[in-house]
Structure 1
Amino acid sequence: MPLPSLTVFIVEDNAWYSEILAYKLSQNPDYAVRQFASGRDCLKHLTEETPDLITLDYSLPDGSGEQIMAQLRERLPEVPIIVISAQEDVGTAIGMLKKGAYDYFVKDEETAERLWFSAQKVREQLALRRENAQLRQQVEQKFDPARSIIGASPKVRELLALIEKAARTNITVSLSGETGTGKELAAKAIHFQSARRNGPFVAVNVAAIPRELIESDLFGHEKGAFTGATNRRIGYFEQAHGGTLFLDEIAELDLNLQAKLLRVLQERELTRVGGSKTIEFDARLMVATHRDLGEEAKQGRFRQDLYYRLLGLPIVLPPLRERGADTVLLAEAFLREFCVQNSLPQMRLSEAARQKLLQYTFPGNVRELKAVMDLAAVLSDGETVQPKDLSLRNSIVPEGESTEPESLREQIARIVQTHLDAHNGNILHVAKLLKIGKSTIYRMIQSQEVRVR
């Protein structure tokens, strides 16, 4: 982590001693040192420059250390102040520390050396604070609906309006839409715009958990609850306490477990598997499915009482084919992102490539578009993506070939195979490039969906 430069104000009426401190600090070229003979001069200079660290003599011609530090604290509450004094009284030191001093040094031959190390520590802390601020800003920007959900079509404007409404309260949100439309992204956008933004966002794909483990994963279990339960496990509901629990593919939940989920939601409390203690939780619930949950309830595959409990605010995410020119906006954004992440020169779409994207229906929606653009960046021979670089399913099928639409799984396999061929079968590199697990590629090889040539 690169360390920032440091601006240090030395407030010391002894010119000789001030020069000693300034000389020591100036040995680091990243330190900018300013010297002031009085508290008044220092306070006046604050209108021109803000320091990162202040050293303050306890005895100044225009006021005591307590008085000057109180004024500095009022103006600069976050800037560390090191008090340097000829007084060795412990009570004085403790008093200054209680009033907000970062440290207290007694003037002696080692003071300049101690100041050097303290300045280094302050610099490191400043770097951490700035990094944390940047990370918080990135998180806020990433999950700001206006930034994370790209598009200007009427469908997207309606979606953003619903997300804004959902974020105002703790109402349960049920998200539906085709695979790849961005249901989890919408859930994150709601969470990070809500009052629970500082709490955890726990996302669970119900369909990806084996049936025999899902109760334990959701509600937790006690040690010895079943064979293999060697330790207590905290379930997803407890992990989401104070934040949001997002249950994706909720329609795949077993009917027996649906009854338990209904009770947990009604009572706002749960019992771990193998336990007897009732545990209260406070988590907002959001669910998603690519199925019609109402139709699933009519057909008896989903409990109607749970359906009504989960319905809350329904939000339907539009398929990409209904979003018009958003396809090009998303494609350009994915292209920029891929180039930045892989240290490639920025690329652009040719007009012919734009038209090809607009004529394609994208059965895999936004997820498919991202995979297509990542691959296009790899296949492109220059800084302009041409139609030949876009690996789309042709609308005109050669004679003798099947007219059945290609499934999303087939498209993924085709994209993975293209990357494997382009990178000499380097599975780890391809997994990182496509942002999928290497185990996924190994499974595809084992099932002969792809192969390493």
Structure 2
Amino acid sequence: MEPYKIFIVEDDPWYGEILEYHLSLNPDYSITRFTNGKDCLASLYKKPDLITIDFSLPDYTGDKLYQKIKETDDSVPVIVISGQDEIAVAVNLLKMGVADYLIKDDNTKDILWNAVTKIKETGKLKKEVAQLKEELGQKFSFDKSIKGQSPALKKIFELMDKATKTNINVSITGETGTGKEVVAKAIHYNSDRKKKNFVAVNMAAIPKELIESELFGHEKGAFTGALARKAGKFEEANGGTIFLDEIAELDLSLQSKLLRVLQEREVIRVGGNENVKLDVRLLIATHKDLAEEVKKSNFREDLYYRIIGLPIELPPLRERGNDVLILAKYFADEFAKDNKMGNINLAQDAKDKLMRYNYPGNVRELKAMIDLAAVMCDGQEIKATDISYTTAKGDQTFMAEEKTLRDYTCDIIKYFLKKYDNDVIAAAGKLDIGKSTIYKMIQQKEIAV
């Protein structure tokens, strides 16, 4: 492990030695001492982790030296140690951004020890957070977060790439289950805002009476139950990105307030008067046609033009060709990994069956189907019989699977044969067809009884 490098800038040799000796008791610290600001600045290329400076040096005052340090390395924390206890001086330095301000007395070395320990731990946490965000950015690279190679998807990648290069608003549309939030996250984590927050809000999931407080925050006592000040989602996203999903569900009365926030780039908490400045990138999503909602007077036209920005319309899964199989294999691998099941493959008849279905629930439905098929399969291979198509109501879909008329005829006859315990005459009577038709299909092994 590399030592924690500390610079001590102190023109009093005796006092500097005391601080150096005391901090050197920690074997993880590497101490370098200077008697003036000039030498300290000349050594900043060594990348210290922390600097302590005396406020009154021969060549610099504490505030001037702090400014010079920050011009060279804005990330290094600085502690100012001063022989004067003027509150105004301390307040000014803290406003400038110094990590701490200590007064020289008998307890300084112990207070400094605690201050350095705290700053070191905080720095460690910041590095860990930065690393995690970097890893998250890699996770949300387009090809890792959105699986597929179809021409339709490649067009989406091109638009997403354009979206990452500016702060233009982005409106993401598409059927339910096409992955709108995944696209929004990928845009954020590939943009220059990736180190700041990504805040997602599902407008349809928040009760109408709470949504204003949820978005814009509230002050203590603003309403019954408001026991403390609460920052809203826009404040949480400051510097980063806010994603408003199902924005078409937002009540008209709140649409005007949202419009004001976007126009003025500031928010006023419910029950408050303070204007909180915002620097937020807006991404929105809906499965509805917003232009049509404007025509129906369900959505404000001025807000529509404010938020539409760069439109990205996600294709339904049925229009993405072989992406179905790429996604199916990915979901099977993920499920097997999460459940320690070993490798799971897709049999050819399973692939054929997957490719014939039209996926009304899109990617979300495919994942649910593959998870279930992985549980139902025997061994390490998913077969066609392991895959079942169901609607949200739990009924077998009929027209969802794309088949020939002959295949549909076989399915219908098989259904009625099963219903009437393989009684051919009863099934033929119910379908109003000749029993010879059914017998012939059985003979040709199109139907098994």
TM-score (norm 2): 0.60
Q: CA deviation at 1:157?
A: 0.3
Q: Distance in 2 between matches of 1:128 and 1:246?
A: 27
Partner of 2:143: 146
Conserved? CA contact 1:244–1:286, under 8 Å: yes
- The aligned amino acid for 1:235 is G
Kept in 1, the 8 Å contact 2:220–2:229? The answer is yes
Contact 2:177 2:362 in 1 (8 A): yes
Question: Paired residue for 2:152, among 152, 155, 168?
Answer: 155
| Distance of 1:313 and 1:381 partners within structure 2 | 47
What are the superposed Cα offsets for residues 312-369 of structure 1, whole Å, 9 maximum, x if unpaired? 0000000000000000001111111111122221111111111111101110000111
Counterparts of 1:267 and 1:128, CA distance in 2: 35
Q: In the alignment, which residue of structure 1 is the partner of 2:378?
A: 381
**2: CA distance between counterparts of 1:283 and 1:263?**
14
> Could you tell me how far apart the structure 2 residues matched to 1:196 and 1:386 are?
44
Q: Return the alpha-carbon distance in structure 2 between the equivalents of residues 339 and 78 of structure 1.
A: 47
Question: 1:223 — aligned with what?
Answer: 220
How many angstroms does 1:388 deviate by?
A: 1.5
Over the matched positions of the two proteins, sequence identity in percent amounts to: 54
TM-score (norm 1): 0.60
**Partners of 1:352 and 1:364 in 2: how far apart?**
22
2:256 aligns with 259
Number of equivalences: 299
Task: Answer whether contact 2:172 2:283 (CA < 8 A) is retained.
Answer: yes
Select 2:326's aligned residue among 300, 308, 329: 329
CA distance in 2 between partners of 1:160 and 1:370 (Å): 21
How far off is 1:141 after superposition?
A: 2.5
Match 2:178 to one of 175, 178, 181: 181
Shift of 1:140: 2.2
What is the CA-CA distance between 1:393 and the residue it aligns to?
3.8
- Matching of residues 82-93 of structure 1 within 5 Å: none
Pair 1:136–1:220, CA change in 2 (3 A): closer
Contact 1:141-1:148 at 8 Å conserved across structures: no
Q: 2:331–2:370: 8 Å Cα contact kept in structure 1?
A: yes
In structure 2, what is the equivalent of residue 246 of structure 1?
A: 243
Q: How far apart in 2 are the matches of 1:214 and 1:133?
A: 31
Q: Which runs of 5+ in 2 are unaligned?
A: 4-26, 33-41, 50-75, 77-120, 402-449
Mark the runs of 5 or more structure 1 residues left unpaired by the alignment.
1-5, 9-52, 59-69, 80-99, 101-123, 407-453
SS in 2 for 1:315: strand
8 A contact 1:380–1:386 mirrored in 2: yes
Q: Does the 8 A contact of 2:373 with 2:382 survive in 1?
A: yes
Q: For 1:104-143, list aligned pairs within 5 A.
A: 135-136=132-133, 138-143=135-140
Structure 1 stretches of 4+ moved >4 Å: 53-56, 127-134, 401-406
Residues 140-160 of structure 1: CA deviation (Å, up to 9, x unaligned): 222111211111111100000
Task: Answer with 1 or 2: which has the greater Rg.
Answer: 2
Instruction: Tell me the equivalent position of 2:337.
Output: 340
Q: CA RMSD in A?
A: 3.5
**Structure 2 residue identity aligned to 1:144:** S
Report the CA distance between 1:279 and its aligned residue. 1.2
Task: Give the letter aligned to residue 172 of structure 1.
Answer: N
